[in-house]
Amino acid sequence: MMQSGVILLVFVSVLLVALGVLLLVESGRGGKRLRERVKEIGGGAVGGPQDLDLIRHRRYSEIPPLEKLLSAGKLGSAISLFLAQANVSLSVGSFILLTLTLAFGGLLLGSYVSRLFFVGPVLFVALGFLPYLVVAQRRRKRFQKFIEQFPDALELIANALRAGMAFSGALRIVAHEMPDPVGGEFWVVTEEHNLGLDIREALHRMNRRVDIPDVRFFVTAVVLQRETGGNLAEILDNTTSIIRDRFRILSEARVLSAQGRLSGAALVLLPVVMTIILSIIAPGYLAILVSDPIGKYMLIACLVMMVIGILTIRKIVRIKV
């Protein structure tokens, strides 16, 4: 049965890898065909992937059953938004197949290198979560960079309004003058507005793509000013001052909590790394944890305490401003 299980895992892993490669190749060909078609229609070159983002029909997967499954619920749209926030060009189907491939590969690796039953499931979960963690880290860095650039963008909008420009023209200046990610997000807002979308709805859509309090402050201030009136330039100056103070306090809090985050990461990773090393070097050393009933209870208690410790440390070091 062990040999049959290994063969089945190898088959599933190879199948998922082949499907993932096929989807990546087809996605590249589709993008190339779309650029050529847009160039024929417009009579010029396409500026980049952001241009295509406004005109293409988003599909979650090139596999019809998976596309139908993801389109039926909210999972496909949630994963698509998550990938867009991190500026990752993978489709939802490719992301899911990559996750399943790594997960089953970890299960196969754990079953091959160790006789302990829990090593395979642990690697299954760890490698399965790896794509999510990578995308989440990239999303976090992109949002952090957006927060750093956002006050300068608001100052640029306020100065443009004082010079007599319209609000849409001020947004267009930010789109052309500011680097990514701020420039790219405002570029999408201006293009959506040019295509007929109301400026308030375009700003709300940007708020959904960049779900941070600073953008929420800005969108709320603009919407209220357009409904009730007032000096928008002065409102943006006050909003910029609030955002800068919040960013300064948040930076100080991160510096003060850096030691706690590092200690938490070390305490979480040390048992996992030592378990994997001992399972490879001395497979029988930890066998008592599975063969003896008391060992099983101790193993479950350790896992529960690790989860409690992770949640507690995460609660302590996450400071909201």
pLDDT digits (tens, 9 = 90+) for 54-113: 444 466 766 677 777 777 778 888 888 898 888 888 888 888 888 888 888 877 777 776
User: Which is higher by pLDDT, 135 or 42?
Assistant: 135
Q: Rounded mean pLDDT of 118-139?
A: 84
Place of tokens 């400071």: 319
Show the tokens assigned to 145.
């960079």
Please give the pLDDT value at position 226: 84
Q: CB neighbours of 138 closer than 8 A, spacing ≥ 6?
A: 86, 87, 88
Domain boundaries, the chain: 2-117, 141-255, 257-317
Lowest mean pLDDT among 14-18, 126-130, 260-264: 14-18
Mean pLDDT, the chain, rounded, equals 78
CATH topology of domain 141-255: Receptor-associated Protein (1.20.81)
Residue 48 has pLDDT above 50, yes or no: no
Closest by CA to 186, choosing from 206, 159, 162, 157, is 206
What percent of the chain is predicted at pLDDT more than 70?
78
Report how far residue 232's alpha carbon sits from residue 200's, in angstroms, rounded to the nearest whole number: 14
Q: CB neighbours of 311 closer than 8 A, spacing ≥ 6?
A: none
Lowest mean pLDDT among 15-24, 25-34, 275-284: 25-34
Residue 117 has pLDDT above 60, yes or no: yes
Please give the pLDDT value at position 153: 92
Residue 47 has pLDDT above 70, yes or no: no
Contact 120, 107 (CB under 8 A): yes
pLDDT digits (tens, 9 = 90+) for 8-21: 556 566 666 666 56
Give kind and range of the element (H or E) at residue 144: helix 119-162
Residue 48 DSSP code: -
Report how far residue 25's alpha carbon sits from residue 20's, in angstroms, rounded to the nearest whole number: 9
Report how far residue 109's alpha carbon sits from residue 126's, in angstroms, rounded to the nearest whole number: 12
Residue 282 has pLDDT above 60, yes or no: yes
Does residue 181 have a cis peptide bond before it, meaning omega lies within 30 degrees of 0?
yes
Please give the pLDDT value at position 13: 61
pTM of the predicted structure, to 2 decimals: 0.68
Contact 190, 161 (CB under 8 A): no
114 pLDDT tier (thresholds 50, 70, 90): low
pLDDT digits (tens, 9 = 90+) for 130-178: 899 999 999 999 998 998 899 999 999 999 999 988 898 999 999 999 9
Q: Rounded mean pLDDT of 284-313?
A: 81
Contact 59, 71 (CB under 8 A): no
pLDDT digits (tens, 9 = 90+) for 224-254: 888 887 888 888 888 888 888 888 888 888 7
Please give the pLDDT value at position 174: 93
Residue 313 CB burial class (10 angstroms; 0-12, 13-18, ≥19):
middle
Please give the pLDDT value at position 175: 92
211 pLDDT tier (thresholds 50, 70, 90): confident
Length of the chain: 321
Please give the pLDDT value at position 58: 61
3-state SS class at 137: helix
Inter-CA distances, 206 with 105, 133, 167, 187, 229, Å: 37, 23, 16, 10, 22
Lowest mean pLDDT among 127-131, 198-202, 288-292: 288-292
